[in-house]
Chains A and B, each alone.
Chain A
Amino acid sequence: ETGVTQSPTHLIKTRGQQVTLRCSSQSGHNTVSWYQQALGQGPQFIFQYYREEENGRGNFPPRFSGLQFPNYSSELNVNALELDDSALYLCASSLAVTKKETQYFGPGTRLLVL
């Protein structure tokens, strides 16, 4: 519906492992934001990328890192997984960081850390 896709849809990892989640933004959207949503909570801002550079970060440790590519795709990497990292991870793309435009969310990747 929004033109934003995420993969995989579900993922199971064990504590200490590393994970890479992927997002494909709407064509032409140069800004992507990542959010973590724990069960029963609202999404929490992880970080934002604008033109392939990090453009703001929420209260998440450095083991959460990201990349944005010129083809409107992006990645969220999490190292040294902890049990509390179990959540729904959402990416959202928008047209321009300066215009405060509506963000379009993907369907999310549900990560379970055992």
Chain B
Amino acid sequence: SQQGEEDPQALSIQEGENATMNCSYKTSINNLQWYRQNSGRGLVHLILIRSNEREKHSGRLRVTLDTSKKSSSLLITASRAADTASYFCATDPTGANSKLTFGKGITLSVRP
């Protein structure tokens, strides 16, 4: 089953604009991670935020986490055509195993 639900399912923006993607999840987590996937290939890890953190930055990426609402957002500032990809949030649920539970993903298209 997929715990993470990303919103919107698809997003199309102009180069230079900001892109905001949201993720909601259902159970308690150790951390939440965002990944990018180009053309159905391997996943590239973007950023990890732990359950006791509220905001984290990495370059043009800003991620927030609200554990009370069980939601996270990923902001990509000053988007580029190269940011065109699918983006997934993945949660590391509390429990015995270190598996990741992924959502269905968001397709981001950045128009040059």
Total residues of chain B contacting the partner, CB 8 A: 27
Asked if A7 is at the interface (CB within 8 A of a chain B CB), the reply is no
Asked if B25 is at the interface (CB within 8 A of a chain A CB), the reply is no
| A-side interface size class | 20 to 34
Q: Which 4 A-B pairs have the closest CB atoms?
A: A56-B97, A42-B102, A107-B42, A45-B99
For chains A and B in complex, what number of residue pairs have CB atoms within 8 angstroms? 76
Asked if B2 is at the interface (CB within 8 A of a chain A CB), the reply is yes
A105:B98 contact, CB within 8 angstroms: no
A2:B42 contact, CB within 8 angstroms: yes
- A105-B102 in contact given A56-B96, A59-B1 (Cβ < 8 Å): no
- With beta carbons under 8 angstroms apart, the residue of B1, B4, B100 that contacts A103 is B100
Q: Which chain B residues border A42 with CB–CB below 8 Å?
A: 2, 4, 88, 90, 102-105
Q: Which chain A residues border B103 with CB–CB below 8 Å?
A: 42
Asked if B40 is at the interface (CB within 8 A of a chain A CB), the reply is yes
B99:A33 contact, CB within 8 angstroms: yes
- CB B46 to nearest CB in A, in angstroms, measures 10
- CB A19 to nearest CB in B, in angstroms, measures 19
